[in-house]
Chains A and B, each alone.
Chain A
Amino acid sequence: MPSRRAVLALLGAVAIPLPAFAQAKPRVVVVGGGFGGATCARALHRAGIAVTLVEPNPAYTACPFSNAVVAGLRELDGQVFGYDGLKREDVIVVQDRAVGVETGAVVLAGGGRLPFDRLVLAPGIDVVFGALPGYDEPVAERMPHAWKAGPQTVLLRDKLRAMPDGGMVVMSVPANPYRCPPGPYERASLIAHYLKTHKPRCKLLVLDAKDSFSKQKLFQQAWAELYPGLLEWVPLSAGGKVTGVEGDALVTDFQRVTADVANVIPPQRAGAIAAAAGAADRSGWCPIDPVTFESRQRPGVHVIGDAAIAGAMPKSAFAANGQAKVCAAAVVALLRGAAPDPPKLINTCYSLVAPDYGISIAGVYRAAEGRLVDVEGAGGTSPPDAARSVRAQEAAYAEAWFRTITGAVFG
């Protein structure tokens, strides 16, 4: 049964005029209930703002650690987080899809309107079907992208499980920018781990539209040590860029590779509401002010997480969580008529190359000349020559990080 507040929110959504007392608190609508949106909604609520979180799904399925689901090391259930924690704190959660932004109000697919004083968009990514010729939604059922966690993740796992030993797995990795820069390489590692453990006569070919990638040295070192002869990475300069999909094959300028299991990670852009709100530029992503995360294109609308062009910050759950807190503080300051403080942001990303072998990259960021830049001398990756005990420690920290952040965001 919906709470009284949820009912009030729905009444508000069908545009019944609000009584004067309901206007006492400034209203902020947050669109998207992932690591960025759920964090921002909670932070704003705790600061005394009347927040409404709009999210079409009844629960969030987290991407970090979903590669472990693909490799059969975890169940998808462990990736799913509901909104009861937010509702318990009286954050209003409206289960609907935001489809448009008018002046001062979000338009919902269900027909309602949610008025706001400021709006935060945290829509994550959309896969751009058609950007890779031949790769559309029906094809994604045969060749899963699994780049949004959920049914696609399970589909890829099941295809790997059903494949006979001796089969060929092919991954296609896009050019930058995309969600989770080291994600494709973690996935390649864990798929290789699965194959090595269960189907050792299989091969994994990683076709890449880039010549370099996040934590590259560490990944390649680990691949040489753990998966020699099993995992082959083909960079752009060696003809790795996939230019299209035909039947069961991935096509490059130089070859046509038939896959027993194909994982196509396609080009991406900000979630659809970003473009509908006029916050996305021609790149498909959203330019923002690095102090407030306010859109450069649509005043009063803030964009956080994967959808934003956040300069040196990667599109990661950790980054979205940190940006959400900075954005919430800035929104509170702006509603107060105060100047937001220049932020310092951090990112820490762990990748697993095997269940007990973790590596990390960290960064510290500040606003300078209109963008988020690296703080010089800080950040970087795990050392290249660390002992296996250090890798095991980082794998344990990776799991602890996931439990901590999901507990803080959704618990």
Chain B
Amino acid sequence: MRRLLPAAVLVLLSAGAAAAPPGAEACSGCHPATRAEGAPPPLAGQPADDIAAAMQDFRTGQRPATVMDRIAKGFTDEEIRAIAVWVARAQ
């Protein structure tokens, strides 16, 4: 049984932020919204190119890491690009 919603509600629902690409919303589990003592850097506001490049370097092991190497290996080039663009803009 699927309950369908009136058109006005659909407009309301779609007015929210652009849907996050797969995996992107997990970043805020560790990366704070603003700079914080001891924490990894905030992502919002950084250039998407820099975030994507960092992810690529974590994945290849070129950039030293504690957990980001293990996480970056789970994403393709396309996924990394989409995540970088989204988190760079996210609030």
Contact = CB atoms under 8 A, between A and B. Distances in A.
A40 B73 CA distance: 27
B1 A299 contact: yes
Contacts of A379: 70-71, 73-74
Interface stretch (A106-114, A169-177, A179-187, A331-339): A331-339
Interface residues of B, number: 41
Contacts of A393: 66
A329 interface: yes
Interface string B9-39: 1101111110110110110111111001111
B67 A404 contact: no
Contact of A326 (B17, B25, B39): B25
Nearest to B42: A404
A259 interface: no
A272 B14 CA distance: 35
A47 B13 CA distance: 6
A345 B23 contact: yes
Contacts, number: 135
Interface in A354-411: 360, 362-364, 366, 375, 377-380, 382, 390, 393-394, 396-397, 399-401, 403-405, 407-408
10 contacts: A321-B29, A325-B20, A335-B13, A336-B13, A341-B19, A343-B23, A378-B74, A378-B75, A399-B38, A400-B40
Given A24-B6, A26-B9, 11 more contacts: A48-B13, A321-B29, A335-B13, A362-B70, A364-B75, A377-B73, A378-B72, A378-B73, A397-B67, A403-B32, A405-B30
Interface of B: 1-6, 8-10, 12-17, 19-20, 22-23, 25-26, 28-33, 36-40, 66-67, 70-75, 79
Interface of A: 24-26, 46-49, 117, 299-300, 318, 321-322, 325-326, 329, 332, 335-337, 341-346, 348, 360, 362-364, 366, 375, 377-380, 382, 390, 393-394, 396-397, 399-401, 403-405, 407-408
